Every structure is written in C-alpha cells, then in structure tokens.
Chain A
Amino acid sequence: MVSCIFVVNFLNCIVKYQLKSIAFLFIVLYFLLLPACEPKQSENTYTIAFTVRDAPSVFTGIAHGGPHMVITTFLFDSLVWKDENGFVPLLAESWQSSDDKKTYTFNLRSNIRWHDGQSFTADDVKFTFDYLRDNPLPISAAEANNAIENIEATNPQTVVFHLKDSAPDFVNNIAAQTQIIPKHIWQNIAQPLKFQEPAAFVGTGLFKFKETRRGEYHLFETNADYFLGRSVVDRLIFKNANNPLLALESGDVDAASPSSPAALQSSQERDEYEILQGPYSYYLTKLIFNVNRSPFNSKDLRQAVAYALNRPEIIKQVLNGEGIVSSAGLLHLDSIWFAKDLPKYEQDLKKSEELFSKAGFASKDADGTRQNANGQKLTFTLFTRSDSQEMVREAELVRDQLAQVGVKLDIKPLTTGPQENVLAKGDFDIALDSHGGTISLSIPGTNPDFPARGYKNDELNNLYQQFLTTLDENKRRDSAVKIQQIIAEDLPSLPIYNPSSKVIFRKSKGVQWFWTKNGLGGGAPIWWNKLALLKRR
C-alpha cells in the first residue's frame, strides 16, 4: 500500500511541479547515451540475415536443419568442399577411390592448425567419424555410419575409409558434408549436445568463434592462419532478420535471401545492391493424392486432375512468375540424374475430360460436380499449409481450376505439424505439401514424401536399390531415368513448382556471393559458401 501511495504521490509531483524538468532529464539522458552506444563496427564487418537459434555447434544442427549446418562450416572444415564448378580440396589435398568404390583414401594437407594452435592430423579425422558413430547427431552422421566399415589413419597425413558396400556418392554425401572436430577437445566429452563452451567451436575454419547470443547473433572473427588464405572481412555476423529487405535498407545486414523472391522487385532497380539469381529452389510444392483409397487409387483420375491444372498460371499468380513448373519425376532439373523426356502434363482439358470418363466419372450432377455410376462424387477436402501464404493461395487456384472440370474442393489449411499428422496417418484424399531434397536421388530411402505418402511400388524400390549399388555410371543413369518415368507415369503426386531463389547483397562490401554447384554439403541450396569470403592465395 505504501508503494501505491508513493506512485500516486510521484505522479502528483510530476503533474504539479516537475513535469518539464523530468522530461528534460530524459532528453538529456538520451542524448548523453547516444554517442556511447553507436555501434563500433569497422567497415570490414559483414552481416548476413539469418534466424539465429542456437550456438554454432556441429551437434545441435540435428534440429535446426541445413542453414545451421552451413553456419558451422565457417568454423569447421570438411575433407572436401564445393565451389561453383564442383568439388574442391579442403582438408584433403587429394583423394582416390578403389575401382569398386569400397575404399577411399584421402591425403591431408600438412600445414593445418586448429584455432587453438594444435596441429590437425589424420587422427582427428578418424576420431570424428568414430565419435559420430557413438553420437549420430549431425545431419550426415546416420548416412556415414551406414556406409563406413572402419577407418584407418595410416600416417598423420593419410586416412583410409573402408566401406561396407560400394558407395559411388561417398565424396558428395559424406566427405563434403562431415565437419571434422578436434580430437584433443572432444575426446573427453560424453554429451556433445550439452557441450557449448567456446572450446566446442574450435575448428580449422576460415573464421574463429568470437561470441554468440542465443536468439540474436553469432559473431565470428577472421582466422589469420587459415591454410587457404585470409578472409576479405574481419568480422562475420549472422543476425536475425524477420524482414530481410527492411533490414538491408536500414543497414542492419549486408546480404539476405528474402523468403519470397517476388518481394525483391521494388529494390531491384537500386545500384546499391546486387541481386544474384540462383538456380530454381530444390524445394517444391506438390499435390499429393491418396493412392490407397478410392477414388484416387485410379491412375486415370490422377492424370485427369493433372491435365486439368494450368501450372504456369499458378506460378504467375502465386510467385509473380518467379518459379518453374516442376518435373513430374520430382527431380530438380539441375540434378545430374534428371530425366528430360517425361510426360509434361500441360493443361489439356479435352484429354482431362477423356481421362475422367475413363475413370468412370463422366456424368455431372445438378451442381456440375462429377460423379460415377455409383453416385460417388468428386468432392474433397484439400489440405494445405496455413503457415505458407503461397500455399494457401496455391490451394485457392487449384480449387478454382478444378472446379471448371467438375471437381469440388474445400480448402482446409493446417499448420505444418497437424498437416504432417494427417498425411502420416493417410487420412486425406488430396493435399498440397512441399519438400526439399530434389537435387539428389537418395531421398527414397529416407523420405516418406518421395514420391508420395503411403505410395508403395516394389518395382520402384528394386530400381532404387540397383541405383544405389550399381557402379556402372550408365546403368545407374538408366535406373535413375526409369525411377522418374515410373513416378511421372503413375503420378502419386503432381509436382507444381520450384520457386526461384535469389540473394540480394550490398555491392560496396566487396563480397561476391555465388551459387555452389549441386548445393553445399549433401545438397543444401544455400548461398553462403565460405569460399566467397576468401582472398585466395
């Protein structure tokens, strides 16, 4: 009560006598503080917009996904890396594989030191993979553990991987993806997820860890002793930006990739920025049919729907034209396994009509909704993702376009989790969903979305097994093409679009970003390749 009265008396005072002087005091205080807190950023600080969630540990990446993994690559190195043209040596100077692709030998550079000054040797590489076997948390760990029989450090500069089976993609999927950690630090760490001291971020990378504030930013400093040369910037910051374009405009960040490329157009004309047109995203949206229940267990009906849709129009409306019609075989057109001659499913209402009739849905009821002889009507709930504006708009267009051919859809937007649940349970007829990973053909083994939820096809599985284990490049290509042909013909899901990806960055900073061929690591389509920041020796 005393304090309450105090507040009232305080207010009393302000109103009575001191309103002006207190306001004055605030103003003076503010101007006094202003100069003290001007950010002391040298010209040579580079800031990238990114949602910072957690310390840049190699092990926390499991929940945070590809971008988090790529952040760790500024601190840590893998044996092999990629640039705009393909593989480049990193920790390993060179590598050879046996003819049967079951043994890989990596020759390491000799002049490499960890950030704490210790020498990097083959023991660290062996240790890393052994440690991942016991703590399979980073993204590539499960894959590495499945592939590797044992590892030998034959001398301080040579590591030999003995694999269980032939693995032609070992360099891409494992050697270019696994970040090597220092043995002398990690050998005593039992719980890698809990170890987030500064020592946990000691790597061999282009940058040294300086500080991090969870949910705010990472601050890295250049590693003057880096074995490939110096960085063009002294400090590298990754910082949150909910609105990347506004952040760029305010000077808060120097480079960003807006979630929707269409938003870029207003700032496109400005000389201050460069816009890098990337490859089309490896992420696509698609219409999934439930092949396990009537009526979408009919291939004719699925194809009828495909021919009824005008996908270029959807891209125009949803993405402002910033996208490409996806391949019916699901693979990205930049993938080395991409099959060209697949059915295109361009809009063809006559063909669609025929296929509807073939599937038994020739007649329409009074409302114009198609039905078959048993009175089964083509009326469905179309699930879509409510957390993506684009996908809600996309659902509306699909609904409108299909209404013209007599298929009636009610849109039900769900957030990601609940929609996952609906799809996993198979409790749907038709849904819009999205996923990435379309650059490599290794997804069928790990991804229930490939080619569609609930879809089973033994022929496809056999072809996939053949693809994984065959060594002959041409035979592999044949399997890859057949896999895509089956998917495109059987059409358990109709891929709709891959959006464009764009990066916008400030020219004055002198950093020239580029797109990495086939994506970073196993294929993350992210533009922060550390080599863009390197003054190469």
Chain B
Amino acid sequence: MKHKILSLFAQYVLLLSLVVTVNFFIVYLVPGDAVEMMSRNLNEAGAEGFGEDTRAMLRQYFGLDQPILTQFANYLRGFAHGDLGTSFYYQRPVTEIIFDYFWRTFVLIVAGIGLALLVGVPLGLFSAVRRGQKSDTILLLAQMMLHSIPPFLIAMFLLIIFAVVLKWLPFSGSAAIGQIAAPNVFEMLTGDFKHFILPVAALALWESTAVYYFTRNALVDILGEDYILVARAKGLSEKVVLFRHALRATLPTLIARFALVFGTAIGGAFFVEDVFNFPGIATLALSAFRNYDYTLLRGIFLLLTVSILAVNFVADICLYRLDPRTLKTG
C-alpha cells in the first residue's frame, strides 16, 4: 500500500516537472512582448508610448534581453527557491500577488463545491429513488435546463435580481470598503461575507447540476444491484438500504467525479469572477493574459495545475482506501 502510494506520488512529481517546463515555454507560443504591451497600455490611454531607449531600458530591467534558455535556467533557479519571478505589470513578486488573489478563489471554490454537494447530492438521491416517476422526470428536465445555461448567465441573473433590482446584496468586489480599519474583526468579516454570497451561489448553482447528475446515475446503477435486492429481502428499512448500503457504495464514483468537478469549478470561477468583479485568481489570470504578464501567467498556471494535481492525488488515495480493488488495476 505504502509502496503504491509512493509510486503514485512519483508519477505526480514527474507530471509536475513536465508541467513546469511546458509552462515556461508555452507563453512564448503567443507572439508579443510585455514591454510592447506596456507601451500599448499607455498609448491606449491617450498618452504617448515609449521611445526605443525606454524600451531597451525596460527589457534589460526585466532580463528580457537574455537568451530564452538563460531565462529558463533563471526561472528554475528561482523556482527551487520558491521565487516565481516579478510580475511585469504589478512590479511585485508573483508569489505575493498570487497569494493576495488566490485565497478568495479558494474560498469561492470550496464554498461553491460544498454548497453544490449539499444541494446536488440530496436532489440526486431523491431523483434516483423515484426513478421514472413524474417528480424524477420534472427534476431531471429542470436540472438539464439549468445545466445548459452558461455560468456567466446564471451569475448575471443573480446579479441583476439581487444587486440591481432588489439591492439586497453588494454589486461587486469581494470586500466592504473601509473595512480594513473596521472597529472589530467580526464586522470586517461580515462585511466581506456579504460579497461572497452571490458568487458562491452562482458557482454552486451551476456545479450542483453536475453533482446531481452523477449522484443520480451512480445510485440508479447501484440500486439495481443484487445486494440491494438482498438487503431489501432481509426486510431492512428503505432508509437503511439507501444510506448504509447504496449511498456508501457510490462513494468511489462520487470521489472520482469530485476531482473532475473541482477542475470544472475552476473554469466556472473564471466566468463568475468576471461578472461579479470578484478579484480572484481568474480575474488575475485574465488581466495577466491581456497584459502579456507572462511571469504572472506562469505562476497562475502552475498554481492551478498543482491544485488540480493535488486534488486528484488525494482522490486517488481515497479511492485506494475505499476500494482496494483499484490497487490491483491501478
């Protein structure tokens, strides 16, 4: 078992080093240059761009005048020391900026998935038990419709209803203004809390349909198994059959799917953050992309890959422990 986990870990480390390398070079596939982009930004705003001297000075300042392989070596050296470089656009260490933004996305995704599970699993359960009945069909159709709405549209609906028309919830951002110096921590947290409700709800609503599907389908399969028939024949109550026998048996499927949901949740966060002006990692990635801030972009890619790998790794281990059969095949 330990041996198996170690070899699994080694596989992930290999994958990670591959990702780091690809990560470094992939940004060069998009032609362009950060210094050009800075000049452009000034220019768009109506000011003048840089002259050749300023351009050369800036290229030297950021080490862009060195050959790519030297830059790669520098990158690896920095990486080993936990230094991902300095952002062109923000002029600060990439790790610091990412940390600034990532915790919000982390809360958003964890709360979103948590809420999606709280909504999706019971609904899936409900539907599976009533498979083929009218209530199942209606729920299935409703979820199908919801699933086919893109996340930004869901977010937009919520925004217009709750922030523009009803004005119950804040319109944008992740923090109440002036709360840094709030009289107490409680007030600061509650101020910010309100800003998280709509983004989390939008993400959860969108993700819950996926959770609903896989819970329903996994349960429908399992409820047809012989051992469920046996359990029922033994005279166990339907609740015991459902929760002790059926639901527990769906766990491996749920966990395997969970890793996938995590990936799509990151994708969903890109849309949701954009609609709510929510300054998370997705907003940061979009601005980094627009501004050719490729040191920052690399850092974000790295973080997203690492978190997806980590979730998959944990899911793999859970699977091994829950269902030892995967040991032999995996």
Determine whether the beta carbon of A142 is less than 8 Å from that of B194: no
A241 CB–B CB distance under 8 Å: yes
Bound Cα distance A251, B248 (Å): 49
Determine whether the beta carbon of A63 is less than 8 Å from that of B43: no
In the complex, what residues of B have CB within 8 A of residue A282's CB?
46
In the complex, identify which listed stretch (A154-162, A442-450, A486-494) lies at the interface while the others stay far away.
A442-450
In the complex, what residues of B have CB within 8 A of residue A16's CB?
239
Bound Cα distance A60, B92 (Å): 10
A139 CB–B CB distance under 8 Å: yes
Determine whether the beta carbon of A211 is less than 8 Å from that of B181: yes
Given A12-B247, A53-B89, A63-B91, also A447-B37 (CB < 8 A)? no
Given A5-B248, A63-B291, also A437-B47 (CB < 8 A)? yes
The residue of chain A having its C-beta at the shortest distance from the C-beta of B101 within the complex is A215
Excluding A41-B178, A446-B49, 17 further A-B contacts by CB distance (< 8 Å) are: A8-B251, A33-B194, A37-B187, A60-B90, A63-B41, A136-B54, A142-B51, A194-B91, A216-B279, A239-B173, A251-B167, A252-B170, A417-B32, A417-B292, A437-B43, A437-B46, A443-B49
B180 CB–A CB distance under 8 Å: yes
Bound Cα distance A359, B37 (Å): 37
Bound Cα distance A523, B47 (Å): 6
- The 3 A-B residue pairs with the shortest CB-CB distance in the complex, in nearest-first order: A66-B45, A417-B32, A215-B279
Tell me if B's interface is mostly helix, strand, loop or mixed. Answer: helix
Determine whether the beta carbon of B47 is less than 8 Å from that of A4: no
Determine whether the beta carbon of A11 is less than 8 Å from that of B122: yes
B193 CB–A CB distance under 8 Å: yes
Interface string of A413-444 (1 = CB under 8 A from B): 00111101110100000000011110110110
Bound Cα distance A534, B101 (Å): 35
Bound Cα distance A434, B40 (Å): 10
Given A142-B50, A421-B33, also A524-B45 (CB < 8 A)? yes
The residue of chain A having its C-beta at the shortest distance from the C-beta of B188 within the complex is A37
B283 CB–A CB distance under 8 Å: yes
The residue of chain B having its C-beta at the shortest distance from the C-beta of A445 within the complex is B51
Interface residues of A in 21-46 (CB under 8 A from B): 33-34, 36-37, 39-41
Determine whether the beta carbon of B36 is less than 8 Å from that of A436: no
In the complex, identify which listed stretch (A104-112, A242-250, A263-271) lies at the interface while the others stay far away.
A242-250
Determine whether the beta carbon of A65 is less than 8 Å from that of B47: yes
In the complex, what residues of A have CB within 8 A of residue B88's CB?
63
A261 CB–B CB distance under 8 Å: no
In the complex, what residues of A have CB within 8 A of residue B97's CB?
214
In the complex, what residues of A have CB within 8 A of residue B191's CB?
36-37, 39
Determine whether the beta carbon of A241 is less than 8 Å from that of B172: yes
Determine whether the beta carbon of A417 is less than 8 Å from that of B37: yes
The residue of chain B having its C-beta at the shortest distance from the C-beta of A139 within the complex is B47
Bound Cα distance A437, B251 (Å): 62
The residue of chain B having its C-beta at the shortest distance from the C-beta of A448 within the complex is B49
Interface size class of chain A, counting residues whose CB lies under 8 Å from the partner chain: 35 or more
Determine whether the beta carbon of B45 is less than 8 Å from that of A436: yes
Bound Cα distance A523, B247 (Å): 67
In the complex, what residues of A have CB within 8 A of residue B279's CB?
213-216, 240
Determine whether the beta carbon of B243 is less than 8 Å from that of A8: yes
Given A213-B175, A417-B32, also A62-B38 (CB < 8 A)? yes
Shortest Cβ distance from residue A341 to the other chain B in the assembled complex, whole angstroms? 26
Interface residues of B in 127-186 (CB under 8 A from A): 159-160, 163-164, 167, 170-178, 180-181, 186
Given A5-B248, A251-B167, A417-B36, also A436-B275 (CB < 8 A)? no
A64 CB–B CB distance under 8 Å: yes
In the complex, what residues of B have CB within 8 A of residue A39's CB?
170, 176-177, 191
Interface size class of chain B, counting residues whose CB lies under 8 Å from the partner chain: 35 or more
Interface residues of B in 28-82 (CB under 8 A from A): 30-33, 36-38, 40-51, 53-54, 57-58
A217 CB–B CB distance under 8 Å: yes
Shortest Cβ distance from residue A112 to the other chain B in the assembled complex, whole angstroms? 27
B94 CB–A CB distance under 8 Å: no
B287 CB–A CB distance under 8 Å: yes
In the complex, what residues of B have CB within 8 A of residue A14's CB?
118, 122
Shortest Cβ distance from residue A318 to the other chain B in the assembled complex, whole angstroms? 18
The residue of chain B having its C-beta at the shortest distance from the C-beta of A29 within the complex is B193
25 A-B residue pairs with Cβ-Cβ distance under 8 Å, sorted by A, are A1-B318, A7-B117, A11-B118, A11-B247, A41-B177, A54-B90, A63-B89, A63-B91, A64-B89, A69-B45, A194-B92, A210-B178, A213-B180, A214-B279, A216-B279, A219-B177, A239-B173, A250-B163, A387-B290, A415-B290, A417-B36, A436-B43, A436-B44, A437-B46, A439-B46
Partner of A239 from B43, B172, B321 at Cβ < 8 Å: B172
Interface string of A1-21 (1 = CB under 8 A from B): 100110110011011100100
Given A241-B172, A420-B37, A446-B51, also A215-B283 (CB < 8 A)? yes
Determine whether the beta carbon of A1 is less than 8 Å from that of B44: no
Determine whether the beta carbon of A36 is less than 8 Å from that of B178: no
Bound Cα distance A391, B52 (Å): 28
In the complex, what residues of A have CB within 8 A of residue B255's CB?
4
